Amino acid sequence: VVSGFEKKGLKRRLAEELEQGVLQVACPQGERLLEGSEAYKAYKNQYKRLCAHLRRNGALARRLESGELQAERVASMEDEALMGESQRSEREQFQKESLHEALGVVSSDSAHWTPSDNFMCPHCECQKCIYIQTFKGAHGYDDNNIEPAITIRCTDCQHLWKEEDVEGGRLASGSFTIDTPASASGGAREGGGAKKPEAPSLWHEEEGRRAPTWMLPA
C-alpha cells in the first residue's frame, strides 16, 4: 500500500502516514487485518479510493506536501473535500443536468420558457415563475398516449418542479390551461377551414381500373 501511494507521487513519509490513516479507518478498534475480513475489505476500498483521488487530482498531492492536509486524516475525509475546484464544478454541473434530465428538461429548451404568475412555488410561495410544456408518452410509432407535462421554475429561489408533483396537481400550482395538440386539431375541425390534402397521383390511376377477376372465359 505504501509503495502504491509512492507511485502516485507521494514521498515515503507521506505515503506511510497516509497508510496509517487508512488502517485507522478500517480498524478503528485495533482489529487484526486478516485477509477476507470486513476490516480487510474496508482497508482495500480506502486504498483504492485514495489512489483514485491522487490519480485524478494532482492538487491533492501538493496539498499533502504543503501541510494543508494531514496525511493521517485524509482517509476519514469525504470525497468532496478531496476534490479540486474543477472536479467540484464538474460534479455540480452533472448534478444539475441529471436533475433536468429527470424532470424532462434540457438546457436547449431555455429559449422556450414562458413567464407566468399563475403558479405558486411550493418552496418559497413566490408567484413569479417561468414554465415550459413537454409531453409524456410520445413515441414515433404511437401518439395516442401523449400527455402534456408542465415543468415550472421559480425565478426567485430557482426551485424546479413538475406541476403533477404538487399535491392537488394543476389546481395547486395554478389554474393555467394550455391547449394540447389534440384540442388544437379539434378546433381546426370545427372551423372547417382545414383543407384536405390532395391524394397521391398513384391513387387516381387506380380509380379507372376494373376490379380483377379470376373467372376463366366460357
The residues spanned by each domain of the chain are 1-100, 114-138+146-170
- The confidence score (pLDDT) of residue 103 equals 56
The pTM for the full model equals: 0.42
The CATH architecture of the domain made up of 114-138+146-170 is Single Sheet (2.20)
Residue type, 39: A
**Please, are residues 26 and 46 in contact by the beta-carbon 8 Å criterion?**
yes
- The confidence score (pLDDT) of residue 155 equals 84
Per-residue CA distances from 88 to 53, 62, 81, 82, 83 (Å): 12, 17, 9, 10, 6
Torsion, Cα of 56, 59, 61, 62 (10° steps): 170
Could you give the 3-state DSSP secondary structure of residue 131?
strand
Per-residue pLDDT of the chain (218 residues; tens, 9 = 90+): 888 898 888 899 999 999 999 999 999 988 888 888 999 999 999 999 999 888 888 888 888 989 898 999 999 998 888 887 777 777 777 767 666 665 555 544 566 788 888 888 887 888 888 888 876 554 444 455 566 778 888 888 888 888 765 544 444 444 333 344 444 444 444 444 445 555 545 445 545 555 555 554 54
CA distance 61 to 14: 9
Extended strands (E) in the chain:
114-116, 129-136, 147-154, 160-162
- The confidence score (pLDDT) of residue 135 equals 65
Residue type, 22: V
CA distance 23 to 14: 14
On the 0-12 / 13-18 / 19+ scale of CB atoms within 10 A, 58 is exposed
